[in-house]
Amino acid sequence: MPFIPQSIGYLFLLLFGIAMIAITWFFARWRKWHSKEGFLVASRKVGWILGGASIAASWIWAPALFVSVQMAYQQGLPGIFWFVLPNVIALAIFALLAPRIRERLPQGYTLPQYIKHRLESERVHKVYLFPYFFYQLMAVTVQLFAGGSLIFLLTGIPLIIVMPILLIIALAYTLISGLEASVITDFVQIAMIFAIGIVIIPMAVGAAGGFEAVEVGLGGLAGNTNIFDPGIAFSFGIVTSIGLIAGAIADQQYWQRSFAIKKQKLSRAFLLGAVLFAIVPIGLSLLGFLAADPALGIVLPAGVDVSMIGVQTVAVLLPAWAVFLFVIMLLSGLSSTLDSGLSAASSLWVTDIAKPKNDNEAISSARKAMIGIAVLGLIISLAVIYIPGLGLMHLWWVFNTIAACVMVPTVLSLYWDRLSEKGVFWGVLVAFVIGVPLFIYSNILDDPVWIVGASLFIIVVSTGFCLLMPRKVPWKAKVERF
For residue 98, pLDDT over 80 is answered with yes
- Ranked by mean pLDDT, the top range of 18-22, 46-50, 178-182 is 46-50
pLDDT of residue 27: 67
Three-state SS for 375-433 is HHHHHHHHHHCCCCCCCHHHHHHHHHHHHHCCHHHHHHHHHCCCCCHHHHHHHHHHHHH
Q: Which residues pair with 261 in a beta bridge?
A: 46
Cβ neighbour number for residue 124 with a 10 Å cutoff: 25
pLDDT of residue 479: 52
**pLDDT tens profile 199-247:** 999 999 999 989 999 999 999 998 888 888 888 888 778 888 888 898 8
- Which one, of 136, 154, 188, 149, lies nearest residue 70 by Cα? 149
For residue 445, pLDDT over 70 is answered with yes
Coil, helix or strand at residue 46: strand
Cβ neighbour number for residue 22 with a 10 Å cutoff: 11
For residue 67, pLDDT over 80 is answered with yes
Kindly state the percentage of the chain with pLDDT values over 90.
48
Domain borders along the chain are 6-372
Q: In whole angstroms, what is the distance from residue 241 CA to residue 259 CA?
A: 25
Rg (CA), the chain: 22
Residue 308 · residue 150 · CB < 8 Å: yes
Q: In whole angstroms, what is the distance from residue 458 CA to residue 436 CA?
A: 8
pLDDT of residue 390: 57
pLDDT of residue 394: 62
397 pLDDT band, cuts 50/70/90, is: low
Residue 169 · residue 408 · CB < 8 Å: no
For residue 406, pLDDT over 90 is answered with yes
Lowest mean per-residue pLDDT among 188-192, 225-229, 308-312, 383-387: 383-387
CATH code that applies to domain 6-372: 1.20.1730.10
Coil, helix or strand at residue 109: coil
What value does the mean pLDDT take over residues 257-282? 95
Its sign, for the CA torsion 118, 119, 120, 123, is negative
Instruction: Name the phi and psi angles at 446, rounded to 5.
Output: 60, 45
What value does the mean pLDDT take over residues 109-124? 94
Angle at 1 between CA 67 and CA 288, to 5 degrees: 25
For residue 436, pLDDT over 80 is answered with yes
pTM for the model stands at: 0.88
Please give the mean pLDDT across all residues of the chain: 87
Element (H, E) at 158: none
In sequence order, what DSSP letters do the residues of 180-216 get, joined into one string? Answer: HHHHHHHHHHHHHHHHHHHHHHHHHHHHTTSHHHHHH
Kindly state the percentage of the chain with pLDDT values over 70.
94
Q: In whole angstroms, what is the distance from residue 206 CA to residue 295 CA?
A: 15
Residue 69 · residue 287 · CB < 8 Å: yes
Three-state SS for 271-329 is HHHHHHHHHHHHHHHHHHHHHCCHHHCCCCCCCCCHHHHHHHHHHHHCCHHHHHHHHHH
Greater model confidence, 197 or 439: 197
pLDDT of residue 169: 87
- Which one, of 112, 411, 138, 139, lies nearest residue 256 by Cα? 112
What value does the mean pLDDT take over residues 284-305? 88
Lowest mean per-residue pLDDT among 332-336, 349-353, 402-406: 332-336
Greater model confidence, 301 or 259: 259
pLDDT of residue 478: 57
Cβ neighbour number for residue 355 with a 10 Å cutoff: 11
**pLDDT tens profile 17-30:** 888 888 777 766 54
Residue 139 · residue 337 · CB < 8 Å: yes
pLDDT of residue 197: 93
Residue 78 · residue 235 · CB < 8 Å: no
What value does the mean pLDDT take over residues 425-451? 87
Q: In whole angstroms, what is the distance from residue 180 CA to residue 174 CA?
A: 8
Greater model confidence, 173 or 349: 349
For residue 183, pLDDT over 90 is answered with no
pLDDT of residue 175: 83
Cα atoms in the Cβ-side hemisphere of radius 13 Å centred on 379:
7
pLDDT of residue 308: 83
Lowest mean per-residue pLDDT among 169-178, 207-216, 342-351: 169-178
* List of residues 6+ apart from 18 with CB closer than 8 A: none
What value does the mean pLDDT take over residues 40-62? 90
Lowest mean per-residue pLDDT among 2-11, 99-108, 373-382, 466-475: 2-11
pLDDT of residue 1: 53
